Amino acid sequence: MTPRRMYSLALVLMLAVSFAGCSGRPAVGKVKGTVTLDGKPLPRGSITFETTGQRPAMGTIENGEIIAVTLYDPGDGAVVGPNKVGIVSTDEVYGPSGIPNPGEKEPPKAKMIVYSSAVPKQYNDPGTSQLTVDIKKGENVVEFKLVSK
């Protein structure tokens, strides 16, 4: 092998090794935990974890349990470091949905989702919720106790 070819091969190997650990993705920590509203498990909702300069991680809330917090890959977690948190939940309500049939005074009722929050609106936005958490590498168990008043 010529010295020039050896130099080129060494350069390629050095670059490959230096980029091997640089995926461009931030460090993440897995997240699970609970969300309550006035001491009762939040039936359903979504949760957002935001940190400066990174994309937000999103998760689901089912029966008060935080599940599937995802930044890039399903369930990979949220960015390590300080995160602001937002929580959104909707209620299912019945309401008018159409034109009354002849002889009826009111329109028929149907199940529909109301897109107003089931939790106080301050919690919907990570910027106004005042909910924060410091995510560490590995497993993180968090608890958010929301109050309606």
Residue 9, domain member (yes or no): no
Gap between the Cα atoms of 78 and 52, Å rounded: 12
Gap between the Cα atoms of 55 and 14, Å rounded: 30
Q: Does the predicted model carry a pTM greater than 0.85?
A: no
Residue 105, domain member (yes or no): yes
Residue 32 has pLDDT above 70, yes or no: yes
Residue 38 banded pLDDT, cuts 50, 70, 90: very high
Residue 10, domain member (yes or no): no
Tokens read off for 124 = 């919907």
DSSP states of 26-49? PPEEEEEEEEEETTEE--EEEEEE
CATH label of the domain that carries residue 125: 2.60.40.10
Condensed to tens digits (0 to 9), the pLDDT of residues 54-111 reads: 999 999 999 999 999 999 999 999 999 999 999 999 876 555 555 556 666 666 666 5
Q: Write down the pLDDT at residue 49.
A: 98
Into how many domains does the chain fold? 1
